[in-house]
Chains A and B, each alone.
Chain A
Amino acid sequence: MKHIKLDIEADGIAVLTLDNADESMNLVSPEFISEFAEAIEMIAADDAIKGTIVTSAKPAFMAGADLKFLGAAFDKGMTVKDALAFRQAPSDMHRRMETCGKPFVAAINGLALGGGCELVLSCHYRVIVDDPKAVVGLPEVNVGLLPGSGGTQRLPRMVGVERALSMLLGGESVPPAEALARGIVDEVVPAADLLEAARRWLRGNPDPLREWDRKGYKPPEALGLLNLKLAQHFTMAGPAASAKTLHNYPAPIAIVSSVFEGIQLPFDAGLRIEGKHFARLLSGPVARNIIRTTFLNKGKADRLSRRPAGIPKSPVKTLGVLGAGMMGAGIAHVAAAGGIDVILLDATMEQAEKGKAYSASLLSRDVERKRRTQAQADAVLARISPTVDYADMAGVDLVIEAVFEDTAIKADVTARAAAVIPAATPFASNTSTLPISGLAEAFERPADFIGLHFFSPVDRMPLVEVILGKKTSEATLARALDFVGQIRKTPIVVNDSRGFYTSRVFQTFIHEGMALLQEGVAPALIENAAKQAGMPVGPLAVTDEVTIELPMRIAKQAEAEMGTAYKLPVSYDVMRRMLDEFRRPGRKGGGGFYDYPEGGRKHLWTGLKDAFPAAAEQPDVEEVKKRILYIQALETARCLEEGVLADPVDGDLGSVLGWGFPTYAGGTISLIDTVGLPEFVAECDSLAQRFGARFLPSDWLRQKAAAGSGFYS
């Protein structure tokens, strides 16, 4: 056995030590399963063995299954039947351990998650080390799956249906004391006593029979809906899953149903039910989409996979931030929190101090919520030095400019900073729309100029869009990515263009929303359709937040610079009327598409129905959802075609982390692959016919569809 060690101690206690030979973490893999199954048979057959301790030689007990494998299942064409067969071996292995007639005790020396937790649950007794890092939990729901190896059957039988469902649906992991309180483990002991505690339990000659394998076992919950408390619980649980997922994520209802149906059956029948629900999830696209984008590809981006090789690491010790407004202050905050000293410059000391005060308010909130100690908060705040004096920029390792989105103003502050910063210090602009190559003209070292587009609020938004100007060097990219890594954000790398990637595609979302309004689609239908499609907020609501002036300014600026080559957005007339005719620029301006009554809930502006009368015939919500999602996907495809994006991964990650494009779709590009490119092109053609040329797929996309290739395959 390669990944497991079996030792038999003098008093007949066997110790099975998990020790993955290939990786630093014990993972559930086919190899592991066959070895573990073999070990169980050896133990079962050896009369000298009285009982077995299962523990790990790694710092962690065991993480779950290999996400790379699970994430690839759908792409390999795994059918429901294949998936069912796939989960049979681990399920059988756990069951065999549980019923082989000899007691097994889990000595949990570190975290036990997912498949690792299911292994622990299959043991007859659980001792866990008293270490807050040794969390246990079943987080499968977070990757669009359910625990497919008995987790949905053992946990409710051990801790009760309500507690089990709360853990399974929340996907939460809990530290040892909490695990004990919830009945997931039996004993919490100091690390030094872990194996001895396990031995102690085995020496007591425990009955190696789980409760549910005893004759006459019939928990009150097996009555199903005749158990009135349970009936009430499930009456709320199904609809709660429905409302929470909006039917976009299939895992929660599969979990609820697996528990509901399984708890009423004998244990092995319950396992079969669970297996079928699991197989549906694993063979479907949603788990693939979630795993691929939010775990595998996000992980790669976080490890700076786009960083050019061969350039030495260059951590930023001191950061210069130009402009202490909302964005500048936010950038200063995350940098300081990442251990970087920050020179925060603005035109007046009052404004610069205000920027620092923003950080102070975020920190005091952290202290209040016990996320930091007061001393830690003080240390972070002390790293931010507000100033009005460009001379203070003399020693900075990186400058980020975050002043008003105006080429002239940006050029001015760029020149002033350039005059004092060290000759090798790269310069970044936090512009969200202005082409980087143009801004770089104001900087004498364009190779050292780059875009670092943060999202608001900076402390909460995980993405940084790194924009390469025409002349940006590889070394500058490497240094910018190092900085993004330092502040623990996720970078995507895009090429220069108007609006780059994220702003450009996000605009199509709000423009489409306003176009729907222009056509007479009921505003509530527009907003609900977007939310039901998985967008975090409706297009009209989010336009109110960014103000209608913003997309209008972007359009006007583009028009001024490009002239007749620029095609006005489809929503131009709606924006113009909202701004000029109704004087409703958005939330900050006292109201936009919504009214914001003081102390009350916001609601759609009552004047909307006169301003944009509803058409007699309203579209089906599915069509509105499709328009809202497809226009964003199509624009992302154009970004790939034009080379703004070099990699579909950046498109997916940027959409999910940048503006909340739904993870069930995996991002804007994965959406196309999920629909199927030929079908997507056909649907877009149909939309173009009815709603305008903006939905027309390009020849490039048609050829790609005809060639039968997807973006990832």
Chain B
Amino acid sequence: MREAYIYDHVRSPRGKGRADGALHEVTAVQLASQVLKAISDRSELDTTLLDDVVLGCAQPVGEQGGNIARSAVLVAGYDESVAGVQMHRFCASALEAVNTAAAHIMAGQSDAAVGGGVECMSRTYIGADSGAWSADPWVSYHSYFAPQGIGADMIATLDGYSRADVDNYALESQRRAAAAWQGKRFANAIVPIKDVIGDVLLDHDEYMRPNTTFEQLAGLKPAFTALGEKGGFDTIAQMRYPQIEAVNHVHTGGNSSGIVDGAAAVLVGNDDFGKASGLKPRARFRAFSSIGSEPTIMLTAPADVANKALKRAGMTKADIDLFEINEAFASVVLRFMRALDLDPEIVNVNGGAIAMGHPLGATGAMILGTVLDELERRDLNTALITLCAGNGLGTATIIERV
């Protein structure tokens, strides 16, 4: 098996996923292609050396449909010989995309590829690609489907996380993200996004609320109470978890991931590609894995998939220096840390999606890049990146600096 190396990574800043978001006027293909162009330009890459561009996208319909990776390749000005494929593993799509790019290299069937993802949440809306799992009544009925927010509240209920617990976590995410931006820790990764006349639209994560207080968070209304009680989803959750007297609805807009626009790209290749391109490898892939878990809560895969990846790598959690777990909801992170018995000081050290937002199909590549930069800054070696994903899926990747 050949080694797959990470040579570089970039990401867009995250724009608010609303009509007044700074990236709202940018189409999904423009956003993806600017990121692709940036990672190519700054290494003066000969794109004929690339075999593929693998992009995650969690709502691949409308302007994000029709294999957006291929369109982005062409719009970015890559050589037409570079293929392009779009991946969908819900919120873990971009990490899956990077893993897939790496897997082809490790299998000897590819020399270099870009993995990444894109999601313009201001330009689509959640449910746009509904699909059988949630919208075919026969399927949702028999699989006890409930929306993610209900699952997050169920984790809090089952594990006993109080509103204060989840709000405190959210507050810490804001604090860490603010400190990271202040310390310019994302500087090397950020690609300012421009409009059609070349003016910069956004060069920072605009979703953040660094001045958030605990009191402000505590004042927010639980977001999923009505859905749970009137929509019947609490009852459905209780059918799966009959030991629960009532669902404790603790998640709000303040302790859940933000809806944002964003794109990311990770350059992956074998050693020959590095030599041919004059690039130095920054890290290698130790292992990666995806699993399915209980679909009603649907957010509990991270601990199991992390353990699976660790086992595959022949490592234990003690061998990991830093962890990145996507902050889909505060309770997801709290459960992950409890399950693996982790020191919070080595988990999501620069904040996460609660503070900066979660562009569904791009986040996996973003947090992989973030933790690689942080390993280098701290001169540490290993990191584990994981995300929970729709319908009970989860993906994890372990990287090691070289």
A238–B242 touching, CB < 8 Å: no
A260–B137 touching, CB < 8 Å: yes
Cβ proximity bits B241-258 to A, threshold 8 Å, 1 near / 0 not: 011111000000000000
Cβ proximity bits B128-164 to A, threshold 8 Å, 1 near / 0 not: 1011001111111100111000000000000000000
For B, the interface residue count at a CB cutoff of 8 angstroms equals 27
- Of the listed stretches B194-202, B232-240, B309-317, chain A binds B232-240
Contact of B235 among A232, A246, A527, A529 (CB under 8 A): A246
Query: Which of A242, A247, A261, A529 has the most C-beta atoms of chain B within 10 angstroms of its own C-beta?
Result: A242
B243–A236 touching, CB < 8 Å: no
- The residue of chain B having its C-beta at the shortest distance from the C-beta of A527 within the complex is B245
- The residue of chain B having its C-beta at the shortest distance from the C-beta of A614 within the complex is B243
B131–A256 touching, CB < 8 Å: no
Query: Which of A235, A525, A532 has the most C-beta atoms of chain B within 10 angstroms of its own C-beta?
Result: A235
A238–B146 touching, CB < 8 Å: no
A253: interface (CB < 8 Å): yes
B231: interface (CB < 8 Å): yes
Taking CB atoms, residues of chain A closer than 8 Å to B235 are 242-243, 246
A234: interface (CB < 8 Å): yes
State the CA gap A238–B236 with chains docked (Å). 11
B128–A256 touching, CB < 8 Å: no
State the CA gap A686–B229 with chains docked (Å). 38
Contact of B131 among A225, A247, A523 (CB under 8 A): A225
- The residue of chain B having its C-beta at the shortest distance from the C-beta of A277 within the complex is B138
State the CA gap A244–B239 with chains docked (Å). 12
B219: interface (CB < 8 Å): no
Contacts A228-B128, A246-B239 given: A239-B231 contact, CB under 8 Å?
yes
Cβ proximity bits A597-628 to B, threshold 8 Å, 1 near / 0 not: 00001011000000000000010010010000
B127: interface (CB < 8 Å): yes
Taking CB atoms, residues of chain A closer than 8 Å to B231 are 236, 239-240, 243
Contact of B242 among A225, A235, A244, A532 (CB under 8 A): A532
CB distance from B148 to the nearest CB of A (A): 13
State the CA gap A523–B135 with chains docked (Å). 34
Contacts A228-B127, A242-B141, A244-B232 given: A235-B134 contact, CB under 8 Å?
yes
A242–B232 touching, CB < 8 Å: yes
CB distance from A601 to the nearest CB of B (A): 8
A235–B233 touching, CB < 8 Å: no
A14: interface (CB < 8 Å): no
CB distance from B116 to the nearest CB of A (A): 27
State the CA gap A242–B240 with chains docked (Å). 12
- The residue of chain A having its C-beta at the shortest distance from the C-beta of B134 within the complex is A235
CB distance from B20 to the nearest CB of A (A): 22
A604–B245 touching, CB < 8 Å: yes
Query: Which of B138, B139, B246 has the most C-beta atoms of chain A within 10 angstroms of its own C-beta?
Result: B138
Taking CB atoms, residues of chain B closer than 8 Å to A228 are 127-128
A235–B245 touching, CB < 8 Å: no
Within 8 A of B (CB), among A197-247: 225, 228, 231-232, 234-244, 246-247
Contacts A239-B141, A239-B146, A524-B242 given: A234-B236 contact, CB under 8 Å?
no
B236–A239 touching, CB < 8 Å: yes
- The residue of chain B having its C-beta at the shortest distance from the C-beta of A255 within the complex is B137
State the CA gap A225–B136 with chains docked (Å). 8
A257: interface (CB < 8 Å): yes
B141–A253 touching, CB < 8 Å: yes
A351: interface (CB < 8 Å): no
- The residue of chain B having its C-beta at the shortest distance from the C-beta of A618 within the complex is B243
State the CA gap A239–B337 with chains docked (Å). 31
* Given A232-B127, A239-B231, A528-B245, 14 extra CB contacts under 8 A: A225-B135, A231-B127, A235-B130, A238-B139, A239-B232, A243-B231, A246-B235, A260-B138, A524-B242, A528-B242, A532-B238, A603-B245, A604-B245, A618-B243
Sorted from nearest, which 4 A-B pairs have the closest CB atoms?
A243-B232, A238-B137, A524-B245, A238-B140
A–B complex contacts, Cβ < 8 Å, 6 sampled = A232-B127, A239-B233, A246-B235, A253-B137, A260-B137, A524-B245
B binding-site residues for A, Cβ under 8 Å: 127-128, 130-131, 134-141, 144-146, 231-233, 235-236, 238-239, 242-246
A binding-site residues for B, Cβ under 8 Å: 225, 228, 231-232, 234-244, 246-247, 253, 256-257, 260-261, 522-525, 527-529, 532, 601, 603-604, 618, 621, 624
